[in-house]
Amino acid sequence: MSGIKLKIILLVIFLSLSGLCILAQAFRLQVMDISSHRKELTKVTIPCKRGFIYDRNGEPLAITVQTPSLYACPDKIENPYVVARALHKILHISQKELVKKLNRKGEFIWIKRWLSPREAEAIEKLNLNGLGFQPENRRYYPHIFLAGQVLGFVGIDGKGLEGIERKYDYFLKGKPGYYYGIKDACGRITISPRLPIQPAQDGDTLYLTLNYKIQYAAEEALKKAIKKWHAQKGCVVVVVPQTGEILAMANYPFFDPNSFRKANPTIWRNQTIADVFEPGSTFKPFLLATALNENIWSPHDILYGEKGHYRLENVTIHDVKPFGWLSVENAIVYSSNIGAVKIGQKVKKELFYDYIKRFGFGKRTNIDLDGEASGLVRSPNQWTKIDTATICFGQGIGITALQLAMAYCAIANDGKLMQPLLVREIRDAKGKVVKLYQPHIKASVITPKTAYKVKKILRKVVVKGTGQEADIPGYEVAGKTGTSQKINPKTGRYYKNKHIASFVGFFPASHPRVVIVVVIDEPHPISFGGVVAAPIFKEIAQDIIWLWQLPPSSPTFKVAKLKKTPKLAVPSKSLVEATQINPDIAQGIMPDLRGLPLRLALKVLQDANIKVKIKGMGRVIKQTPPPGTKIKGDIVCLLQLEAN
């Protein structure tokens, strides 16, 4: 073998061994010793985006936006006192607190999370060393107060703390990603090429059953009534009886989830599910349904009203008006407490208790919200003779507004009790449906025949009974008023001058489209449900009729007409202004809507087939496109609202 060949062979062997050594070292570094090397690396989190919440028609109710947050690197700040003084003027944080933060040792500390655009711009102009901005995801509720207690809110760490945000946090929160990086001497992090990147997975999107326009109408009517009657608080629930879908769930006082820290935590409560109250006469239809369904009474059976005073043991039961002989039907129509007691005396208390439970009282509805109360329904073996009598007219029993709504839905829905629905579907970040919620029948409480009879009587309550203030000419409204005394928790006795006024109704009575519950806490000086709560129902119902463009009902039930002709209201200045701007639309010009209440602005734009987006509550203060703009094609008008 020549010397040249030997050298070539030795060179090949040397290169092969070197290659094997390199591969072995690479295997050791990247596979065998990966855990030890990770200790030298910095794990960097890739934030994910929290899923949006929309109403049933795709209107955003909760979104996620990127907002700058301010941090400091104390090691790089030369004079903390100078920096603190400059930041104090912009952020309105005490100089003492700022100096304390800036004097800490370390490379990073938060100064303020979620700056406003004005704050970020002002700090940027200072051009101070050691300060920096970090973009963060922040939850934003574009309609401000709208459905605040239903939506809930998200904490600074991105976790849902109340309402839908809390209940569906698992779906909404998403999954952050991460990568490992190497930090240089200046603190900058570069991605390690040896380790994989785990991308962030954005949260799922929720589509609720709420209709934000109906929600707005409910909140506006509720707010106006609370102020008119100087009430403590109130709530409204609007439900589709055939599906159990909740179209509106309003609570007053309102709550702005964008500024949840500024609100008293008691306002976070969703009254419709958390507050228990005695329903008063709105409970009488369930006694009636029990008696009719069991063929114990018929609507035309006669009972004696005791001329307004009925002595039972050591208690006297009163009626607002004295009645002599009256039918079972009229006992409900004219809301006779004594009549209800007489009906109940032929219905065994165990049977009535069974129907109360069947209608869903005394147990949670299992709506998709935390904090729901089960109410208070005692076992019949604990009912005294007086208890048995008072429960017949809705005293001595505790329920929630949602329970009351769903029970009336059962009457409106031919006896079928539905599961309340607040979420329609969940979609992932790519739009694929993850979960679909379907209507669910929980029980058949009464027969369709019985439901028809009860609906017919409730229609007469509105036509000629205590609910006339809820009547809408041309539409078959049915419902029941309620006025109940409140209990003093200290004494266990009823207050003499504190009441809860309520009204529950639905329309059209022959085939109801919605059930609306109105509950007003401590109205004064008048506390009757027919005076206080029924007009709120009417206002919301009229908004729904206009929104859905419902045609007038064709009479199905033959009932007596109202004796009194309702007075026509004088058009307000706003209504006159609204009619005056229609000529602009006719000429293809965007009218000036500024100063109008939302209802009138919506009517003007809907008449012109112009799509609308709403931001805020109250009256219109700004519009896009601006007044005088030519209307071209399929435009969308953005209305900026502000409370009066």
- Longest distance between any two alpha carbons in the chain, whole Å: 136
What are the beta bridge partners of residue 374?
A: none
Side-chain half-sphere exposure of 241, counting CA atoms within 13 A: 27
Burial class (CB in 10 A: 0-12, 13-18, 19+), 503: buried
Distance (Å, rounded) from C-alpha 30 to C-alpha 566? 86
Total residue count of the chain as it appears in this document: 644
Point out the catalytic residue in the list 192, 281, 336, 527.
281
Strands 611-615 and 636-642: parallel
Q: What is the per-residue burial (b if ≥16 Cβ within 10 Å, else e) of 67-82?
A: bbbbbbbbeebeebee
> Is-catalytic flag, 281?
yes
- Between CA 529 and CA 539, with CA 533 as vertex, the angle to 5 degrees is 150
Positive or negative: CA dihedral 441, 451, 356, 505 = positive
DSSP 3-state of 45: strand
Token pair of 356 as six digits? 């109360």
* DSSP single-letter state for residue 153: -
Q: Which residue has the tokens 């790089």?
A: 76
Q: Which residue has the tokens 């609910």?
A: 467
Residues with Cβ within 8 Å of 43's Cβ and at least 6 positions away in sequence, in order, are 178, 179, 180, 181
Residues 534 and 470: beta-carbon distance below 8 Å: yes
Cα separations in angstroms, 228 against 72, 467, 491: 51, 19, 30
Element (H or E) spanning 271, and its range?
helix 271-274
Cα separations in angstroms, 164 against 61, 192, 290: 11, 39, 36
Q: What is the DSSP string of 370-431?
A: S-----B---GGG--HHHHHHHTTT-S-BB-HHHHHHHHHHHHTTTEEEPPB-EEEEE-TTS
- Detail the DSSP E strand segments found in 150-230: 177-183, 189-191, 205-208
Residues 387 and 377: beta-carbon distance below 8 Å: no
Q: Which residue, among 442, 426, 446, has the nearest Cα to 434 in the 3D structure?
A: 426
Element (H or E) spanning 133, and its range?
strand 131-140
Q: Which residues are catalytic, by number?
A: 281
